[in-house]
Amino acid sequence: MEQTKFNVSRFENRTGTVSWRVTGYLHGVRIRKNFATREEAGAEKAALEIRAIQNESGQRTAITSLSDAQLREAESVFHRIAGKQRPLAFYVDYALANYREPEHQKSVSDAVTDYVAAKKREFEQDQLSKPQYRRIDWEMKRFEKHFKGKTVAEITPANITAFLEVNNSTLKTFNNRRGVLSTFFKFAFHRGWAVENTILRVPHHRIRMRRGSAITFTAQQARELMTFAETYEGGRWVPYFAICLFAGVRPGVPDGEITKLRPEHVSLDTGIIHIPSTVSKVREPRRITIQPNLAAWLRAYPLEKYPLIVGNFKKRRERFKDRFNLTHDVLRHTFISMFVAKYRSIGEAAIQAGNSESIIRKHYLDLKSTEEADAFFGIMPKKQAAWAA
């Protein structure tokens, strides 16, 4: 159809003068205009063709003070809210009333550097344990890598949730990582890098723990472990396993309680192991009663002659780990469960183990029988029997 095609032609008026005529149709309306010069006619032809294209595409010519970039942005926004119930003005008013710019735009990389430095100072002032500091440092490196190139203010609750769910993490892992990020975003909020503490809108999962979920040894497995310890490397490992297994001292190396325990903390004369606050994981002192069988082990293998921690500990401990399936806290878990079974006192077990009563009740109550506990606390060293004879 030629309705939108325009032509410029020479036209002689009755007076003998020459004009230049633009003719054509604009959507059914006939156009015919005369101009004194060919240039003017050509300009009109171009303007009519633009109008025709705009009409065909749904566009129109309008006088506006907006720049080309502003016009394109306005069109983009109208396309984004197409089909919404509210007009554009509603969303603009809402943003103006509720959005606040952060006081400072801080990149995630710089924020993580400042935060980890602050945690390092806390560690150096003995406000954080070494494992806590290492965990924070490791988690924040993951966080920095994931959000590289962003500012703290750009990170949304949805972004954080997606990060915490990477690799289908368990609910416990999700909560643990959220705990690290919680202190980071609080740190960022107080310094004006974000207008709100974003982590508050990230869910914390409630986990229903099963009672009696601690992994423990049986009395027979504990006996086999101690029997092997007596024959391995001349019994050098006996004090370590005896104190962790029969007194419940936290066994982690290099940062557990056992690595900070000194011979002077263990008194066979008073029958007490004194755990000072500098040794305790929870930074609270406690006193552990030395059971008769533990006393026998420590007399047969005195700490003055058999140090608690041997050289090249981790590599050499692998022999025990592989042979007896030593998990992280199985020695301590075994002691607590056997203690509760023997003495039927959740309160006393909590005091000696350095746990809360609720934790003892939830994880250790009724895991063992009284008979098995008696067998456990009856495990004696062979060396002592030979010496006594």
Q: Report whether 38 contacts 8 (CB < 8 A).
A: yes
CA-CA-CA-CA torsion sign (188, 190, 195, 197):
positive
Q: Which two tokens stand for residue 339?
A: 């203690």
Does residue 212 have a pLDDT over 60?
Answer: no
With a pLDDT cut of 90, the percent of the chain lying above it is: 50
The arithmetic mean of pLDDT across residues 110-119, rounded, is 96
Residue of 321, 95, 305, 342 whose CA lies nearest to 229: 321
Higher-confidence position of 15 and 389: 15
Q: How far is CA 255 from the centre of its chain?
A: 22
Element (H, E) at 177: helix 171-190
pLDDT-derived band at 141 (thresholds 50, 70, 90) equals very high
Higher-confidence position of 41 and 243: 243
Q: Which two tokens stand for residue 308?
A: 């608690």
The arithmetic mean of pLDDT across residues 108-125, rounded, is 94
pLDDT at 387: 46
- CA–CA dist 40, 308 (Å, integer): 102
Beta-bridge partners for 155: none
Half-sphere exposure (Cβ direction) of 344: Cα atoms closer than 13 Å: 3
Q: Report whether 244 contacts 332 (CB < 8 A).
A: yes
Q: Which residues contact 254 (CB under 8 A, 6 or more apart)?
A: 130, 313
Single-letter amino acid code for the residue at 157:
P
Q: What strands, in cross-sheet order, belong to the sheet with 29-35?
A: 6-12, 18-26, 29-35
pTM beyond 0.85: the answer is no
Does residue 1 have a pLDDT over 50?
Answer: no
Q: Which residues contact 78 (CB under 8 A, 6 or more apart)?
A: 88
Specify the range with the lowest mean pLDDT, choosing from 116-120, 260-264, 325-329, 382-386. Answer: 382-386
Does residue 381 have a pLDDT over 90?
Answer: yes
Higher-confidence position of 160 and 362: 160
- CA–CA dist 319, 173 (Å, integer): 29
Domains of the chain, start order: 1-62 (no CATH), 116-201 (1.10.150), 219-388 (1.10.443)
Does residue 386 have a pLDDT over 50?
Answer: no
Quote the strand ranges of 155-298, DSSP E.
Answer: 266-267, 272-275, 286-289
Q: Which two tokens stand for residue 19?
A: 């004009």
Q: Which two tokens stand for residue 276?
A: 């000072």
pLDDT at 145: 95
Model confidence pLDDT, tens digit, residues 61-104: 666 777 878 878 888 888 888 888 888 888 888 777 766 666 67
Q: Which residues contact 85 (CB under 8 A, 6 or more apart)?
A: none
Q: Report whether 324 contacts 318 (CB < 8 A).
A: no
Q: Which two tokens stand for residue 201?
A: 């809108």
Q: Is 167 exposed, middle or buried (0-12, 13-18, 19+ CB in 10 A)?
A: exposed
Query: Residue written as tokens 């190396």?
Result: 253
Model confidence pLDDT, tens digit, residues 256-307: 899 999 999 999 999 999 999 989 988 889 999 999 999 999 999 999 999 9
Does residue 252 have a pLDDT over 90?
Answer: no
Higher-confidence position of 220 and 131: 220
pLDDT-derived band at 202 (thresholds 50, 70, 90) equals very high
Specify the range with the lowest mean pLDDT, choosing from 198-212, 223-237, 322-336. Answer: 198-212
pLDDT at 385: 45
Model confidence pLDDT, tens digit, residues 17-72: 889 898 988 777 888 889 989 889 888 888 888 777 777 766 666 667 778 788 78
Does residue 210 have a pLDDT over 80?
Answer: no
Average pLDDT, the chain: 88
Q: Report whether 350 contacts 357 (CB < 8 A).
A: yes
